[in-house]
Each structure stands twice: as C-alpha cells, then as structure tokens.
Amino acid sequence: MTLYRCNIALAILLAVVLLATWSISVDPQRPNWDFLPDMQYSPAYEAMSKNDNFADGRTWQASPEGTIARGETRLGYAATPADAIRAGEELTNPIPAGDAAVLARGATVYRVNCAMCHGPQGQGDGEATKRGVPPPPSLLTGKSPQMKDGQLMHILTYGQGSMAPFVAQLSLDERWQVVAYVRDMQTKTVTSAASPNETTTPDESPSPAADLPTDVPAAGETP
C-alpha cells in the first residue's frame, strides 16, 4: 500500500513538472521574463552626453596623464629644437640598414603620408606644394642628410615648423621605417652624384690626324 501511494505521488509530481515546463517554455518570438531588469539593462550614456557621476559632468573622460597606447613607447622629449638635437644624440634606429622588407614598407608609408608635400623623390615638390602649401626643404640636400636618425624621428613624432606631428598616424615602427627609407634615398643620391656618367675629356679625345697614314703622296704625285 505504501509503495502504491509513493508511485501515485511521483506520478503527480512528474505531471506538475511537465505542466510547469510546458507553461514556461521559451518563445523565440518574445523576450524572456526579467527578474532583475535594473541589472540587465543598465542606463547607457552617450560619449558627449551629460553625466552626473563625474565631477566635471562629462561622460567622455580624458585619459590620465602619462597614458600611452598599449605596445607603444614614449620618447620622452619635448617638441623643441633643443630636444630634437638631444634625440639625435640619444636615439638610434633599431631597424637594420638595407633590409629590403623594411625599405618596402617604409616606401609605402612615405608615399601615403609624406609624398604629398616632400614629393615622391624627397625633393620637396609634392602635389600639395602646387596648391598653396609652402614647399618643404629637400630631404636629399641641405640639412636633412646631416641630421641624425634620432633627430628625424623627433621631427616625425613632434613635427617641426609647418610640418604636423605624425605620432597619432604612425606607429613607432612605421616612423623608424620612414627614417630608414629616407636614408636609403639619401644614400642613393650621394652614390649617384659620386659616380657620374663617364665622359671623354678634350685631352683624351683622339686626334683626327692620328689615324691618318703618314705616307700620303703629295698632290699631283702618283702612289
């Protein structure tokens, strides 16, 4: 008798579970019940909206002083001519000279970011100079070849004169790649200037009379 009653109770319990399962079945066409809606749907703020949670009342907070992007390295210089010279003394290009892959990448970065002002060959004749932008000095002559790699890196990072800084557009490696590419252009220019096309000087020019025979008969004589 006890076993019979136990089976009846289990059957009733199973029926209740099946009925409850059917009644709370998930309908993919409508959302489920929310028991703690405040935790599920938190109030979101737009980047430029007012926010009373901060002392300045702004949602978009400035980065803490000294913050740098992950993977980046701060150079630690000021945007001054004196620090540009100091950077030239302290910084060296970590990229091996003559690396073909580095030069190819540097050429691409230069063409996209620098050629519009400095020109495709670094002569300061980019397309922007034809539209009102003051032409920059040539990268192949003058002071540029005399600058050290660190000084060029400082200029790329902080800008100089009318040139804007490129620290936001180019990573540290890309800036070094541009420096390597500029150095390659300068080296090729120096090599080309040191090895001009061979020409014949007047002293080396053969004399037309030197090839004439010496036993030519005089006029009126027969050989």
User: Is there a domain that residue 179 lies in?
Assistant: yes
pLDDT of res. 104: 94
Which CATH number characterizes residue 132's domain? 1.10.760.10
pTM of the model: 0.59
pLDDT of res. 193: 65
User: Is there a domain that residue 62 lies in?
Assistant: no
Report how many domains make up the chain: 1
Q: Tell me: the pLDDT tens digits for 80-112?
A: 999 999 999 999 999 887 889 999 999 999 999
Structure tokens, 83: 């620090």
Distance CA 40, CA 114 (A): 49
With a CB cutoff of 8 Å and minimum separation 6, the contacts of 125 are: 119, 135
Of residues 69 and 130, more confidence is placed in 130
Q: Is the pLDDT of residue 136 over 70?
A: yes
Q: Are 34 and 42 in contact (CB under 8 A)?
A: no
Q: Tell me: the pLDDT tens digits for 9-60?
A: 888 999 998 888 877 766 777 776 777 777 767 778 888 889 999 999 999 9
Q: How far is CA 142 from the centre of its chain?
A: 26
Distance CA 172, CA 218 (A): 83
Q: Are 88 and 147 in contact (CB under 8 A)?
A: yes
